[in-house]
Amino acid sequence: MERVRMVFSGSGGQGVITAAIILAEAAVIHEGLNATQSQAYGAAARGGATRSDVIISEGEINFPKVIQPNVLVCLTQQAYTTYYPILRPGGLLLCDTRYVTTERKADAWQVELPMYQSVMEQIGKPIVFNICMLGAVVALTDVVSRDSVMKILKERIPAGFVEINEKALNLGFDLGQAKKR
């Protein structure tokens, strides 16, 4: 596989860092790949801009930060404005239609999905927005299988919440699958 360099960005509390960790963990534990996950640390737990870098590769990963991502996920307008310029030309840009208004001008595979809206309509709990996003990323990139992510969710999440997370993962996966090229 090609080395995948990903940046997940949004605002504190949206769960972008948790989603990044789950994806990277799925790659290492269930797919036999190497992965690193790091994040910009700030004092703000909620509301501040957050960013998490994930690299997934068959080979050894030395430098663990992402300078030019080939997958960029933006869940707020601020994140989009900040990180859109660093996307590698031809890379995947995934945004949520409720939070981000994109400018269609650059050399990127722009995918805009109503992830938040779908989660609210079909599940009704914004807490699984990040997992819906993860489902879309998995569908669009094939970087790990949906099963591997689901296994990590089952290991990490209290039993009572597995069902809505699975629903959110599948919801995002279907949204992503429909936009796959």
Partner 1 sequence: MSQNIKFVQGNEACVAGALYAGLQFFAGYPITPSSEVAELLAARLPTQGGKFIQMEDELSSICAIIGASLTGHKVMTATSGPGFSLMQEALGYAIMAEIPCVIVNVQRGGPSTGIPTQVSQGDVMQARWGVHGDHSMVALTASNHQDVFLMTVEAFNIAETYRTPVVLLFDEVIGHMREKLVVPQEGEVQLVGRLHTSVKGGVDYHPYLPREDGRLPMSDFGGVHRYNVTGLYHDMWGFPSSDPKVVHGLIRHLVDKIENRANLLAHYKEYFLEDADRVLVSYGAPARSALHVVKNRRARGERLGLLELQTLWPFPTDIVREKCARAKAVVVVEMNMGQMLQEVKKAVEKPEQVFLANRIDGVFITPTDIQNILRLIQGKGV
- The residues that touch partner 1, with contacts defined as CB under 8 A, are 21, 24-25, 28-30, 32, 34-39, 41-43, 61-65, 67
The minimum distance between CB 157 and partner 1, in angstroms, equals: 16
Nearer to partner 1, 22 or 93 (CB): 22
Please tell me the distance from the alpha carbon of residue 92 to that of residue 110, in angstroms, as a whole number: 6
Burial of 2 by CB count in 10 Å (0-12 exposed, 13-18 middle, 19+ buried)? exposed
The minimum distance between CB 66 and partner 1, in angstroms, equals: 11
The minimum distance between CB 38 and partner 1, in angstroms, equals: 4
Measure the CA angle with vertex 129, ends 104 and 16; round to 5°.
Answer: 75
Nearer to partner 1, 36 or 97 (CB): 36
The minimum distance between CB 41 and partner 1, in angstroms, equals: 4
Concatenated DSSP letters of 118-148? HHHHHT--GGGHHHHHHHHHHHHH-SS-HHH
Q: Which helix (H) or strand (E) holds 167?
A: helix 159-178
Nearer to partner 1, 28 or 106 (CB): 28
Q: Which two tokens stand for residue 89?
A: 């030309």
- For 89, which DSSP code? T
Please tell me the distance from the alpha carbon of residue 2 to that of residue 166, in angstroms, as a whole number: 28
The minimum distance between CB 23 and partner 1, in angstroms, equals: 10
